[in-house]
Every structure is written in C-alpha cells, then in structure tokens.
Amino acid sequence: MGLLDKLAGWLGLKKKDVNVLCLGLDNSGKTSIINQLKPSNAQAQDIVPTIGFNIEKFKTSSLSFTVFDMSGQGRYRNLWEHYYKEGQAIIFVIDSSDKLRMVVAKEELDTLLNHPDIKHRRIPILFFANKMDLRDALSSVKVSQLLCLENIKDKPWHICASNAVQGEGLQEGVDWLQDQIKTMRT
Amino acid sequence: MIKKFDKKDEEAGSGSNPFQHLEKSAVLQEARIFNETPINPRRCLHILTKIIYLLNQGEHFGTTEATEAFFAMTRLFQSNDQTLRRMCYLTIKEMANISEDVIIVTSSLTKDMTGKEDVYRGPAIRALCRITDTTMLQAIERYMKQAIVDKVPSVSSSALVSSLHMVKMSYDVVKRWVNEAQEAASSDNIMVQYHALGLLYHLRKNDRLAVSKMLNKFTKSGLKSPFAYCMLIRIASKLLEETEGGHDSPLFDFIESCLRNKHEMVVYEAASAIVHMPNCTARELAPAVSVLQLFCSSPKAALRYAAVRTLNKVAMKHPSAVTACNLDLENLITDSNRSIATLAITTLLKTGSESSVDRLMKQISSFVSEISDEFKVVVVQAISALCQKYPRKHSVMMNFLSNMLRDDGGFEYKRAIVDCIISIIEDNPESKETGLAHLCEFIEDCEHTVLATKILHLLGKEGPRTPSPSKYIRFIFNRVVLESEAVRAAAVSALAKFGAQNDDLLPSVLVLMQRCMMDSDDEVRDRATFYMNVLQQKQKALNAAYIFNGLSVSIPGLEKSLHQYTLEPSEKPFDMKTVPLATAPITEQKTEIAPVATSKLPEKLAPSRQDIYQEQLAAIPEFQALGPLFKSSEPVQLTEAETEYVVRCIKHTFVGHMVFQFDCTNTLNDQLLQRVLVQMEPSEAYEVVQHVAAQSLPYSQPGSCYTLVRLPEDDPTAVSCTFSCAMKYLVRDCDPNTGEPDDDGYDDEYVLEDLEVTVADHIQKVLKPNFSAAWEEVGDEFEKEETFALASVRTLDEAVGNIISFLGMQPCERSDKVPENKNSHILFLAGVFRGGHDVLVRARLALADGVTMQVTVRSVDENVVDVILASVG
Ligand SMILES: Nc1nc2c(ncn2[C@@H]2O[C@H](COP(=O)(O)OP(=O)(O)OP(=O)(O)O)[C@@H](O)[C@H]2O)c(=O)[nH]1
Ligand SMILES: [Mg+2]
C-alpha cells in the first residue's frame, strides 16, 4: 500500500475491502442480484447462467465488496469450497418460488455450514429469499423455517425477501451485511 | 576434464538465466501467496512466470498439485492489473490439460472477451477456447460468432485462429460459423483475411468441390493479404496434385500468375510451388527458375537464401533447368553469408560439368572451416553424390575428404565423411588403398569410439586382401596400446584377421596377440586368448568359421537358449544348431549418409521380428514341441484389398514342421465371427496335423488362427508345395451400433487365395563377410555343378535379382551389384538350410543371347545340394 492509500485509510476516505462469496442453487438469481448492486453504468444487460465463477465489485457507503459469484449448477457446486477460505461473508440466495428444490438448497446449506473452512468461523451469512414478486413465492419466514435457519447458533445471519429484477429488498440486506462486518472488525 | 566442464557451465549460467535452478516444490509453495489479500501483482507475476517456465521445461506436474495451483491462480482475477491478467490467460492455456476443472474460469473469460478492455479480449478468447469442450462450446457459440466479425483485428484474428483449433474437436459446431468467416475474409486487415481464409479452407478441405469453388471465388476477386495469397497457392497446388491436374488447369494458371505479384513473398511461394510439382517439365519450370534467379541477386539475404535453397532442390531432379542460373550461383559462392555460399556451391556441384569440379572444390575448401557442421554435412553429401556421378573424380574427392577429416568437427560431421570414404572405397576398388590410408591416419587421433571401431572392422575385412597388408598392422596395434576398451577389443579382432589370411604375417601377429593377452580389460584378454588358440591351429576351416565369418545366430536367441540350458542341465553339450539364426543380417549395402538425426548411442540390441514370433508361438501349447523357430516369412496377402475379410499369412518354418499363421480382420460391423480357422489342402505329401482356431473375431479387431503342417520326412527334396485355403467360421449377426450379437449363428466359409511354399521358406539368409574362406571351410565333398540357360532374362542385373529372390539367400562380397558394361559376373550366395546346414552357392553368369548360368553348390549335407539344384532346374 502506498503512503497516500494509508493516509486515506486513516482518514476514513479509503473504503475497506471485503471478500464475499455468493452461493445458492442455479437459477436462484445470484448473478442478477450482484448485477443490481453494481453501479448502473457497469450493469450487464443480459444475464446468462454462470459457468464456474465471476468476480464482481461494488461499493457501499463504507465498504468495497469483491464478490465471488459462483455457479449454482449441480456439477460446479463442489468447486465452491476452493474459495471458502478467503470469504469474509456469505450471501446465500434461494429461489423462494422453487418449492420443489427447497430441500436441495437446505442440503447444500448444511454441507456448507459443516465444511471445516466455515464451521468454526463467526462469518456473517445473508440470505436472500429471492423472486418474491412471483405469485407462488414463499414468504421469507416460511423459507427460513424450511431451511431450519434458527439452528444456526454460532454465526450472525439475516434473511430478506428480494426481487433482483426490480432491485427490491437488496439494500436492506447489504446494509445489514455492512454493519456486521464493521462490528466484526472493531 | 569433468571438473572443467562444470565450471564452464556455471560461468555460462550465472546471471544469464534467473530461472535456471528452479525447484518445482518451492515454486508451488510460493504460489500460496495467490491466496493472500490484497493481491501483490508484481510478486504474483513473477511466480506465474516461474510456473510457466517449469511447464515449458517439461517438468511434470501431478494432477493434484496442478489443480491446487490453478485454483489459487483463479483468485488473481480480482486484480485489475493488465499484465497480471494476461499472464493468467497464458497460465490457463498451459495448464488446460494438466489441471482438473479448468472450466471454472469459463464465465470469467467470457466476461473479459465481451468486455470493454480490448487488450483482454483476444487473449481471453484464445484461453477460453483451450478450456472448452464440445458441450461447452454451444454455450459460448454466440460470443464466438460476434468475435469473428469484431471490428478490432486482434479480436477477430484470435477468434478465427481459435476456431481453427476447434475444428478438430467440434467440426459440426464450427461449421455453423462459415458466414461470419466469409465476412472476415473480406476484411481490410491482412492478418484477419489470412486467418479467415485458413478457417474456411479447413472447414472445407475434405470436400474437393467446395475447395475448388472457394479457390475459384478468391482467385477471381483477388485478395489484399500476401499471406492469404501464399495460402491460396498452397491450397491450389495441393488440389492440383490430388486431382492430378495438368499444366493446362486454371489452377496452374493462377499459380503462374502469382509469379508476377508485387509481393516477393507471393512470388517466391508460387515459384516454390511450381518447382515442387511432380512431373513438371522444362517449359513450366523456366519462369519459376527465372524469378528464383532474380532473387539470387537480391540485396536481402533471406531471399537469396530461399532462392538458392530451392534451386539446390531443383538441381537434384532437373539439373539442366538450373544451369541457366550458374552465373548467378557463381556470384553467390563468395557470399558473405556462408549458408548461402555453401548451398550455391553444392548446387553447382550437382549441375556443373565434370571439368568444373576441381575449381569448385578448391573454392569450398577456402571457407569450409567457417561454416557450421550442419552445412559441412551438406557438402559431404554433395561430394558423395558427385562421386557416384563422376567416378573418375574420386581422387580429388578423396583428397578433399581427407583434409576435412583433419579439421575440427562434431561426430555427425566426422561420421558423414567416414561413411563417404567407405562408400568410395566400395565403389572404386582402385581407391581402396588411398582410402584405407586416410582412415588409418584418422584413427590415430579419433575421439569417437563408434567411428574407430567401425574403421577397425573395415581394416580387418579389407586390409588383409590388399597387396601390402603389413603396413596396416602398426596402426591397428597402436590402438591396442592407446585406446579405450571397446577400441582395443575391435583392434584385436582386426589383427586376428590379418594373421588368418596372411601366413607370412602370422608369426608377428601371434607375438602381438600374446601381448594383448595381458590387457587389463576382460573382453580384450578373452578375445586375444581365443584368437591366439584358433590361429595356432593353422587350419583354414577354423579360421573361416571363427575369425572371418563369426556367429550367425540371433544374439537374444542365443542368450535365451543358454539360459534355458542352464535351467535344465543335461549331459549333452550345448548345440548351437538349436539357436535361431539372426534374421536381419548386417547387410553389406552401404548405409545412406543422409540421416543425421539417427541415434548417437549404439543401440541396445532390440529383439528382431523373428524373436517376437518365436516368443508368441512358444506360448501356444500345441507348438511347444516343435523346437526352435527357423524362419518366418514376410506376410503374404490372401485376400484382395477392401474385401469383407482381410487375411494375410506368415509362414513359420521349424525343423520338421511348418506353422501357418493367419492374421484375419473382419471388416463387417454387423457380424461377429467365432471359431475361425483356415482349412488347407496341400498339393504334395504335406500333412495337415492340427488347427488352432481364433475364438472370436469382432468387427475390426484383428485376430490370428494357426494351421500346423508336417513336412514329408521320407522325401527331403519335396520343398515346394501349393495349398488351397478356405476360412471356416461361425457367423453371428449383430447390431452395428452396439456390437450386441444375435443368440444363434450359422456356419460359413470364405475361399482364400492359394498359398505357395517355396525353397526360400527353407533357407535362412546368412552373411559370410569372407565368402572364399567359408567356401573352403565347407569343402567340396558334396559339391555339385550344373549349367542352365535363362532364355527369358535380358540383363545380368535381372538374372541376379531373380536368383536372389528365388533362393532367398544372402548375397556376399557385394556380388549383388553387377558392374556396368560387363558381360559376365559371379554371384556368391550364403544361407543355412532348415536343420542347420550351411549352404553356399556360386553362380557364374554370362550374357549372350539371354543369360547362361553355371551354378556350383556346396554344403555339408548332400540332400541340401540336391534340393537347391532341383529347384533351380
Ligand atoms: N421474476 C424474477 N426473476 C428473477 C429474479 N431474480 C432472477 N430472476 C431470473 O432468474 C433467472 C436466473 O438468474 P441468474 O441470476 O442467472 O441465476 P444464478 O443464480 O446466477 O444462476 P447460476 O449462475 O446458473 O447459478 C434469470 O432469468 C433471471 O432473470 C427475481 O427476483 N424475480
Ligand atoms: Mg449466475
């Protein structure tokens, strides 16, 4: 870090860098959510299923986020763990209209929580119950019940209903995440 | 000596290559910093460089360690440092095949290839295409099509070249991009146009009509890019060759018109294409040669080099076409670029008249020390060719070669010279003594063991038969005193031959042998002791068998038999006749000088084809009692090409039996053959004893079945026989896709062509380096002689060829070569008859009306002599 950068850091001008993992089943809306959070001039027009992963960046009032947007398709899910170590926070996205695969989502979540690189860390997890605009979408409360989120005792977590197409609910979640990270650091 | 080298290495290495002593494990350890945040681009770049360096040095990376490093590298995509990102692309390409799950970077690369940074886009496409397989390709197809027609040339070129690579893997997908490639082919950028043409061609190359249409279109519309023109010329000449198109074809007109293109590159390509066309006549060559002639005086060294190199090639096939350029080539003789000068001289040597040889040789000696070994070899080859063309010039050449031999030079160079001298000696008996003298001088100071032993062997063979053999003894004995073990041993063997051939030298040779028996090396001592004892007997037959003509058995076979003998000790002495003979005898043909790349180390003795058969047959229980395999024939085709079943036969001869091995291939994908065997009907008293069937013959997987035949014992002269053959089997029809056969099948048979057994199947070739010694050794107890008239044969060459192939015996003393303009010739043949008896044939041929042949046969077995004479008659 150059001197100026350090100076900016002390003065609170320079935003802190945070690495975030964005996980969840395929088609749940991970890429769409991250895309919405980017500045409008950097947003992509069409969103296609992710293959492997993508690295995206966006800023909030006090943090600079680097997001590893992972692919949710079955055959790539076992590649998530390569990136667990550097994640300082997790965004877990659920398609709340996909009742059929809710159990799959729960299974993947449990595997994640039991992974040695995650298990013993107090790492904040933000859940988005996405696609809330769809008619048969479940409420965030219902989703959290189905995923048994109340069992997560050793990590701060939060769930928000969201609509990645319109951008609704995203800000609330990201604000929570920012607060968590700041309290963790100080 | 060794120490000195080490030091040199160190000096050369220090400072020049910072990566020289890299350790893979240390580098992989360092690669862990990829996981650290924030990323330090400079350090990461350095480590990626090291990884790529190691990979390019051929260092092996295990899958796990490679995958770990690869995934660590993927994190570097966080950084926006341009150099680092491009290094990542390189790493991805290098590791694409050794790491697992490389598709993890697909989305990241797709993003870069469609992004705003032009410097990322081309390289990202190349990397993406390296990690993509056919299924994934569909997912990025849309982006590839856009990239091909992108307005940024580097992006378009990258996409085109990557597509070209993927044609091999996913032809059907890439084929859909033809329209985009067409559009790129009309680009203003010369590289894009060239790459687009390349892709279009590769998509169509299997469809001659489409290629020809494409050529037609582009040759009419014209192209901007000289690279594309060169490519069109290559495509056109290939098509011309395939369609055997003549010089009246529009394709030829196109190529010829390119001789007038404004780009030198295109002009050269066209000239080179014309020159290389098969059956090109002087008329078509002339314009091509004249542009090459112009290039000879170009100020650009590359053009002069290209021109003279091409002319050099033309000179081999059409020397007269190049004579027009002789003046220009003369000017190049003094070219400051020695490669150009060498090629010019060697070309002139090929085209020039006999009278100019001396002048050219003088010219070339003035700078031969300045050119690299590689070009020196070219010079030696030219000399070698020249000697064959103008045998009368051999003394000039010999002189020149001996001077070259004295110069410094590497092994390949020295070997080329030695081979060339040896071939001159062999072709010109009158040059023998001068040649041997030069070689003697050479081995006085020769650091190459292989060459020294080779020359000693030659001295042993030729020296004793020269008018004054004593003068070689000193050179040979010096070797025993001064050289390494291998050379000393070779020298001892050479000495022995002098003693065996020349009675007056024998006493001194015996004294020298006595000294060699005190050598410090086992092999040298053993040889000396052995020869000493043989020589002291003073018997011609012993000398012939143990000094001149050596062992004729297969060395791996001997090793195996001896091992077998030690496993089952018996009262009987070991019998050399049970050892299979060596099949590929060291031919006396001179070896081609050309192959510079042949292995430098003496090769390990590989098992011969027959050793392999021997092993395979011994593994079949039915054939275990047959004794050692005597001879295996070359395969004989018993079916036409492209029939339902392809069958070829190899005839294996044993002492009292023959095994016919039928290699069968079933080319019908809807049939499974089972219990396949070949039934044989002999014309003579041969008895079919047993069949060993091939149990199953699925589509396109070759299998073998065998038929065992007993040779007639009561009539040893019945050596030839004709067999009518039929293949019998059970057919089960099956599904062509799955190969799943029906439950039941039916018997069927397939008639094959007749199979001949001839006298050659009973004789194994054996080379007797000294035929007359062998002739004496066998003696005349069973000698027989007969005279035949070969009415239908017109030349001595033809007669010699016929006899050799008919008897299947080994020509000795280079007697298979009939000197030109001679009316008579003597052919010497040697072999071993089934059962282990030596047989020698001397055939005196005289050319009159047709050829008259007097055949003399010697053997230690009377039957064998009768068999040979009976089969010739
Ligand atoms: N109606 C509705 N559609 C959404 C919402 N969020 C995402 N989608 C749609 O869902 C589809 C999948 O979105 P992606 O962002 O590609 O999903 P992903 O989780 O990144 O999928 P993978 O990359 O395959 O793991 C797209 O067609 C989006 O337009 C939402 O809140 N409401
Ligand atoms: Mg995605």
Q: What is the pLDDT of residues A36-73, one digit of tens each?
A: 999 988 888 889 999 999 999 999 888 999 999 999 99
- Which residues from chain A sit within 8 angstroms of residue B38, using beta carbons? 1, 17
A31 annotated ligand binder: yes
- Chain B neighbours among A 43-82 (CB < 8 Å)? 48, 50-55, 66, 71, 76, 79, 82
Among A48, A53, A86, the residue with its CB nearest the CB of B104 is: A53
Structure tokens at B467: 């008018």
Nearest CA to ligand 1 atom 3: A131
Q: Taking an 8 Å Cβ-Cβ cutoff, which residues of chain B contact chain A?
A: 35, 37-38, 71, 74-75, 77-78, 101, 103-108, 110-111, 136, 139
Rg over alpha carbons for chain A, rounded to the nearest Å, is 16
Give the Cα separation of B727 and B381 in Å (integer): 52
Give the Cα separation of A22 and A35 in Å (integer): 12
Residue with tokens 């077998």: B564
Mutate to test the pocket of ligand 1, among A22, A31, A45 (most ligand atoms within 8 A of CB): A31
Question: Which one, of A54, A58, A74, lies nearest residue A66 by Cα?
Answer: A58
- How far, in Å, is the centroid of ligand 2 from the Cα of B255? 54
Looking at the complex, does the CB of residue A1 fall below 8 Å from at least one CB of chain B?
yes
Instruction: Write out the H or E segment, with its range, that includes residue B610.
Output: helix B609-618
Structure tokens at B836: 């282990």
Residue with tokens 């070779």: B490
* Single-letter amino acid, residue B195: H
Q: What is the pLDDT of residue A13?
A: 59
Instruction: Write out the H or E segment, with its range, that includes residue B212.
Output: helix B208-221
Give, as one character, the DSSP assignment of residue B254.
H
Give the Cα separation of B335 and B347 in Å (integer): 14
A50 annotated ligand binder: yes
Q: Which residues lie closer than 8 Å to B576 by C-beta, 6 or more apart?
A: B553
Q: What is the pLDDT of residue B401?
A: 85
Tell me the whole-structure pTM to 2 decimals: 0.62
Q: What is the pLDDT of residue B606?
A: 61
A51/B107 CB distance under 8 A: yes
- Which residues from chain A sit within 8 angstroms of residue B105, using beta carbons? 52-53
Ligand 1 binding site (Cβ under 6 Å of any ligand atom)? A 24, 26-32, 47, 49-50, 71-73, 130-131, 133-134, 163-165
- Which residues from chain B sit within 8 angstroms of residue A17, using beta carbons? 37-38
DSSP letter string over B707-766?
EEEEPPSS-TT---EEEEEEEEEEEEEB-TTT-PBPS--EEEEEE---EEE-GGGGEEE-
Q: What is the pLDDT of residue B12?
A: 47
Give the Cα separation of B634 and B130 in Å (integer): 46
Give the Cα separation of A105 and B330 in Å (integer): 84
| Segments of chain B scoring below 70 in pLDDT | 1-15, 352, 583-607
Instruction: Write out the H or E segment, with its range, that includes residue B123.
Output: helix B118-131
Q: B371 exposed, middle or buried (CB, 10 Å; 0-12, 13-18, 19+)? A: middle
Nearest CA to ligand 1 atom 2: A131
Q: What is the pLDDT of residue A3?
A: 54
- Which residues from chain B sit within 8 angstroms of residue A19, using beta carbons? 37
Structure tokens at B229: 């023109």
Q: Which residues lie closer than 8 Å to B669 by C-beta, 6 or more apart?
A: B699, B700, B736, B739
Q: What is the pLDDT of residue B628?
A: 82
Q: What is the pLDDT of residue A147?
A: 95
Nearest residue of B to residue A56, measured between CA atoms: B78
Angle at B570 between CA B569 and CA B575, to 5 degrees: 100
State the ligand closest to the CA atom of A133: 1
Structure tokens at B437: 């003298």
Mutate to test the pocket of ligand 1, among A34, A35, A43, A47 (most ligand atoms within 8 A of CB): A47
Check residues A127 and B351 and name the one with the higher pLDDT. Answer: A127
Question: Which one, of B733, B847, B854, lies nearest residue B794 by Cα?
Answer: B847
A55/B139 CB distance under 8 A: no
Give the Cα separation of B512 and B221 in Å (integer): 83
Active centre residues of A (catalytic): 73
With contact defined as beta carbons under 8 Å apart, do A108 and A25 qualify? yes
| Dihedral, B367, B369, B373, B377 alpha carbons, nearest 10 | 60
Q: What is the pLDDT of residue B404?
A: 81
Give the Cα separation of B417 and B377 in Å (integer): 8
Nearest residue of B to residue A66, measured between CA atoms: B78
Give the Cα separation of A158 and A170 in Å (integer): 12
DSSP letter string over B782-819?
T-EEEEEEETT--SHHHHHHHHHHHHT-EE-TTTTSPP
Nearest residue of A to residue B137, measured between CA atoms: A51
A72 annotated ligand binder: yes
Q: What is the pLDDT of residue B22?
A: 87
Nearest residue of A to residue B78, measured between CA atoms: A55
B107/A54 CB distance under 8 A: yes
Q: What is the pLDDT of residue B4?
A: 42
- How far, in Å, is the centroid of ligand 2 from the Cα of B160? 28
Q: Respond yes or no on whether the N-terminal peptide bond of residue B580 is cis (omega within 30° of 0).
A: no
